[in-house]
Structure 1
């Protein structure tokens, strides 16, 4: 404060007190804290305007504890009533978090105060309400993410165990087993990068079919004399987490065989992957051209081929057919649209 001549003017004690109270009010508002008092005999509640707005109640309305209880989420109501009734037996500070419903909006409230009659004046207890909705949503998101990750890790460990068994049967040496198993697990890792959950995600994890196929086949596109030898043309459709795992295994097996014996084994070979969608089935067509002449294998299907057939028929409830034309292999995969989405 300054006087008329510009010199500092000493504030009166009353002015300093008003100034401090105003600053304290601003600090409380900035912290998102609302104030309440509760008469333990009459059940009457007194709140500041911010508390009224927090609860969705018209400011200035006479309210009691039971009136506010009507806004508490039904699942939390009995717990909140019991907690407030027990505050007089609690020694020291108490705190309880609960949900309230304001119209269609759900909020998390933290009520805090002193129990065991501490700080009580004229039979009135004092405390604060704090809106902790943001913190609770973050905690729920973290719990959901942790549960989802635990589920995914268990699934991947199960798959890895099965792949290890299958690879050990088909490999002729430990070096071959290590190489094939590493490639299969790497293919799974690339696929799951597309469907990993994120905090706050409300829908099931999924990926676009075109993105999935492109990511899985990208390493093979870099192995030839020119890029662009692998072409993917599919309509926009989503693939769920379970189907993503299966398709990753199928695509890896087909691409590995193509790299060994088919179109991808030579620089001039090309691979086209197309797709059509109908109500009855989603059809994926794998077409190899420009490679060496091929013949249908005379021996029984290897473990990799058996893995593909079991994955398509079992998990995707579909079918897989091979056309061993001399000009190149053509594979037609038909799957249930509903199974593709999960």
Structure 2
């Protein structure tokens, strides 16, 4: 839920050209409605819930704009019950002849400095339908809000919001009579069914305990089953036998926890073909936090699923060929070393670096379920464990990895592999891995938006700083500083080499 915020003054709202509604008449019109009795009205709440779901935004509101404030009769995804009028987007929307859409409020001079934009709520996208009575008096707006910019609304979303706004006006107009209120609720539900039947997705709804009691026309058109035959638990029989237990378990988890329901499964179409479908559902809560309804959709994703599987096969084949290229290069280096014995030492170092790059590539490349590494492929510690595996002893761990794990990707895996392979190789030649008693601790920790990785060698022969910078040191500098935009500090202590590598976390993963 969006939280409350400090109220600050805004410049008076300008009067739109041609808009000349008497504020006294408008105040009298608002007074005709029992505003307090309509706060958190169940019918209005269903409207704002559905408006937010229809437009795929976190917030839906019914706002009545009064002389000095705007009051939210119904609110979905927001804790505020009112704001000063000078902060109101709806005060502008209610003057329009059509839906007012603000793709990015920070770019709109009317709202860029609005506290609802720059402070707590962080409004970016806004769309509001004017709530105007039959006598031409504007009352406020039915609006939807998002905290990220959006391009606008689809034609279906615009149509849906207008239908829902009509229901809001009907609810406001009928609030003076209990009988009229019941009629408005029934009409609202009828309009909801009409709107749901026009949606391309299969729409369904359940009671709080998960009992399915509504499907739209698209469901029956897709499945071909008789109306009502999938009520209750009958829906589960529409899934592929191999998916039924999994889908049921996920649904039961959502019912027990209130967490959103999302799953991919194969749904039987009317011609008997099972097609991949994305199932989603969200709970609707009352003011006490209890679930009063579940609304869900089923979307046919069969072609997209097959295309994704084909892309994965191609990616795996490409990665396999790249892996083979590393092996070929390593073989060519070995062949050249045999033909040129004087090149052997350099060739061994070069081949080891190529092998390290190959191990890094193999760790982050696309994998099948059978070939995927045990460690998370986005794990820094998982990659380091893979790189250090050839240096570990069968009886004890020579290199210990600890601390905070962080996310990496294919872009950062290569310089990381070169950097730590070089450190491990030097430790084998001159440092803690030179004898059987030495050990290395690699510890990573977050410091703000940076990652600090410490390399500490202990138990090896005494080492001293080299007289001149060699290729290995240059390679470490190239990997950490130039490619990962970090820093490297080396300390040649009597107990062993200590290296502190500081990297921006953003350079390790695109996310």
Please give the range of the TM-score, normalised by the shorter of the 2 chains: 0.5 to 0.7
Task: Decide whether the 8 Å contact of 1:234 with 1:276 is kept in 2.
Answer: yes
CA distance, structure 1, for counterparts of residue 450 and residue 428 of structure 2: 29
Alpha-carbon shift at residue 176 of structure 1 (Å): 2.1
Q: Aligned to 2:384, which of 207, 213, 238?
A: 213
Task: Decide whether the 8 Å contact of 1:279 with 1:337 is kept in 2.
Answer: no
1:196 is matched with 365
Q: Aligned to 1:222, which of 350, 369, 393?
A: 393
Task: Decide whether the 8 Å contact of 2:459 with 2:495 is kept in 1.
Answer: yes
1:87 is matched with none
Task: Decide whether the 8 Å contact of 1:281 with 1:336 is kept in 2.
Answer: yes
2:309 is matched with 141
CA distance, structure 2, for counterparts of residue 278 and residue 56 of structure 1: 58
| 1:101-142, Cα deviation, whole Å (9 max, x unpaired) | 99964426xxxxxxxxxxxxxxxxxxxxxxxx1x65133332
CA distance, structure 1, for counterparts of residue 352 and residue 277 of structure 2: 52
CA distance, structure 1, for counterparts of residue 475 and residue 317 of structure 2: 25
Alpha-carbon shift at residue 250 of structure 1 (Å): 0.7
1:337 is matched with 505
Q: Secondary structure at the match of 2:433?
A: helix
Q: Evaluate the alpha carbon distance shift between residue 146 and residue 298 of structure 1 in structure 2; reply closer, same or farther with a 3 A threshold.
A: same
Task: Decide whether the 8 Å contact of 1:266 with 1:291 is kept in 2.
Answer: yes
Please say if 1:107 is aligned against 2:304.
Answer: no
Alpha-carbon shift at residue 295 of structure 1 (Å): 0.8
Q: Aligned to 1:310, which of 461, 478, 490?
A: 478
Alpha-carbon shift at residue 236 of structure 1 (Å): 2.8
CA distance, structure 1, for counterparts of residue 313 and residue 412 of structure 2: 20
Please say if 1:265 is aligned against 2:434.
Answer: yes
CA distance, structure 2, for counterparts of residue 194 and residue 340 of structure 1: 15
Aligned length: 219
Alpha-carbon shift at residue 310 of structure 1 (Å): 1.0
Q: Aligned to 1:284, which of 453, 465, 471?
A: 453
| 1:134-163, Cα deviation, whole Å (9 max, x unpaired) | x651333322552586489779979x99xx
| 1:89-112, Cα deviation, whole Å (9 max, x unpaired) | xxxxxxxxxx9999964426xxxx
Task: Decide whether the 8 Å contact of 1:194 with 1:206 is kept in 2.
Answer: yes
Task: Decide whether the 8 Å contact of 1:206 with 1:241 is kept in 2.
Answer: no
CA distance, structure 1, for counterparts of residue 488 and residue 316 of structure 2: 31
CA distance, structure 2, for counterparts of residue 100 and residue 228 of structure 1: 47
CA distance, structure 1, for counterparts of residue 224 and residue 485 of structure 2: 51
Alpha-carbon shift at residue 198 of structure 1 (Å): 3.8
Q: Evaluate the alpha carbon distance shift between residue 333 and residue 186 of structure 1 in structure 2; reply closer, same or farther with a 3 A threshold.
A: same
Please say if 1:249 is aligned against 2:418.
Answer: yes
How much is the aligned-residue C-alpha RMSD, in angstroms? 4.1
User: Superposed, which structure 2 residues align to 1:1-342 within 5 Å?
Assistant: 53-54=221-222, 105-107=298-300, 133=302, 136-147=304-315, 150=318, 173-198=342-367, 206-222=377-393, 226-299=395-468, 301-342=469-510
Q: Evaluate the alpha carbon distance shift between residue 56 and residue 326 of structure 1 in structure 2; reply closer, same or farther with a 3 A threshold.
A: farther
CA distance, structure 2, for counterparts of residue 259 and residue 246 of structure 1: 20
Q: Secondary structure at the match of 1:53?
A: helix
Q: Secondary structure at the match of 1:263?
A: coil
CA distance, structure 2, for counterparts of residue 274 and residue 242 of structure 1: 22
Task: Decide whether the 8 Å contact of 1:259 with 1:265 is kept in 2.
Answer: yes
| 1:17-57, Cα deviation, whole Å (9 max, x unpaired) | xxxxxxxxxxxxxxxxxxxxxxxxxxxxxxxx999532899
Task: Decide whether the 8 Å contact of 2:316 with 2:365 is kept in 1.
Answer: no
TM-score (ref. length: structure 1): 0.53
Alpha-carbon shift at residue 221 of structure 1 (Å): 1.6
Flag the structure with more relative contact order, 1 or 2, with Cα contacts below 8 A and sequence separation at least 6.
1
Structure of greater Rg: 1
2:263 is matched with none
CA distance, structure 2, for counterparts of residue 145 and residue 230 of structure 1: 36
| 1:180-232, Cα deviation, whole Å (9 max, x unpaired) | 2221122222223322214699xxx9421222212211211228xx5222211
